[in-house]
């Protein structure tokens, strides 16, 4: 099946700093989503981005499907950005099941 690798595994920032999270995938995809998992376990949708670039406030994402990677940018980070960020993809031959990466644990200190 399709493989998803996220980097870095851990990231520690001071409030106000910018960061870039990366997601590499091993095959063509029909869907790519970025999620933020809060401390209670809820997966919050950040972006649905199988290709192209999107922005939502301080967050933006870019997926280059031909090169099999996606980037999530967080600008002017806040302590509330802390948590686990997951990239998940639907492989080209799948009905729709998401395959998740291992996540990036982000900690933002005040």
Partner 1 sequence: DTGVSQNPRHKITKRGQNVTFRCDPISEHNRLYWYRQTLGQGPEFLTYFQNEAQLEKSRLLSDRFSAERPKGSFSTLEIQRTEQGDSAMYLCASSLPSGAGQFFGPGTRLTVL
Where do contacts with partner 1 occur on this chain (CB under 8 A)?
31, 33, 35, 40-43, 45, 48, 86, 88, 95-103
Q: Are 98 and 1 in contact (CB under 8 A)?
A: no
- Tell me the closest approach of the beta carbon of residue 2 to partner 1, in angstroms: 11
Q: Distance (Å, rounded) from C-alpha 15 to C-alpha 8?
A: 18
CB closer to partner 1 out of 17 and 62: 62
CB closer to partner 1 out of 10 and 15: 10
- Tell me the closest approach of the beta carbon of residue 76 to partner 1, in angstroms: 26
CB closer to partner 1 out of 17 and 60: 60
Q: Are 21 and 86 in contact (CB under 8 A)?
A: no
- Tell me the closest approach of the beta carbon of residue 100 to partner 1, in angstroms: 3
Q: How many residues does the chain have?
A: 110
Q: Distance (Å, rounded) from C-alpha 65 to C-alpha 91?
A: 12
Range 51-60, long-range pairs (CB < 8 A, 24+ positions): none
CB closer to partner 1 out of 19 and 99: 99
Q: Distance (Å, rounded) from C-alpha 66 to C-alpha 44?
A: 27
- Tell me the closest approach of the beta carbon of residue 70 to partner 1, in angstroms: 13
């Amino acid at each position: 099946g399709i493989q998803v690798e996220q980097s870095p595994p851990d990231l520690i920032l001071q409030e106000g700093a910018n960061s870039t999270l990366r997601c590499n995938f091993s095959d063509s995809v029909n869907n790519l989503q970025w999620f933020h998992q809060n401390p209670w376990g809820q997966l919050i949708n950040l972006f649905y981005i199988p290709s192209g670039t999107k922005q939502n406030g301080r967050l933006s994402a870019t997926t280059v499907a031909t090169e099999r990677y996606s980037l999530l940018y967080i600008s002017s980070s806040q302590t509330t950005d802390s948590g686990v960020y997951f990239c998940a993809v639907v492989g080209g031959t799948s009905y729709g099941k998401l395959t998740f990466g291992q996540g990036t644990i982000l900690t933002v200190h005040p």
